[in-house]
Amino acid sequence: MSETCQTACPHCSAAQRIDKSVPVAVAKCHDCGGHLFDGHPILLTGETFAHHLATNTIPVVVDFMADWCGPCKVIAPEIIKTAKALEPHVRFAKVDTDEDQKLAGHNGVRGFPTLVIYKHGHEVARHAGAMSAAQIQAWLKPHL
């Protein structure tokens, strides 16, 4: 029997049940037809954050970042490498803390970048500072 998971569409936010054995390139939203995974973190806002965390049955890794932050620029391509390697077993997202300061504050973000792993809407791990793709994968491994 195939393993399934649920995720929120990054385009329309509709809940989608998918078979994890389906290649990510063909996993599409049944509502809007958009690709569910593309190897890049999705942008979450104060309006979409709680819905995406509650909808996903896979871990959600949120990068709380700022465009002006040097270490954030360093980690961004490492997150993309990790997303391409681990999707659909994990959802990668980012929050622009300049645009959503209240959301960052509510989640206790004090420095950038801050990566937080959420499972079933609850924080299970946190890391502040840049990491390589290999370090991100090792940090994530116990939560997959």
Q: Determine the CATH number of domain 38-143.
A: 3.40.30.10
Q: What is the mean pLDDT of the chain?
A: 94
Give me the active site residues, please. Answer: 69, 72
**Does 18 have pLDDT greater than 70?**
yes
Q: Give per-residue pLDDT as tens, 62-108.
A: 999 999 999 999 999 999 999 999 999 999 999 999 999 999 999 99
What percent of the chain is modeled with pLDDT above 90?
90
Query: Exposure string (b/e) for 78-104, b if CB count within 10 Å is 16 or more?
Result: bbbebbeebbbebbbbbbbbeebeebb
Contacts 24+ apart (CB under 8 A), 131-134: 131/75, 131/78, 132/78, 133/78, 133/79, 133/81, 133/82, 133/85
Mode of pairing for the β-strands spanning 91-96 and 42-43: parallel
Is pLDDT above 80 for 113? yes
For position 1, what pLDDT does the model report?
52
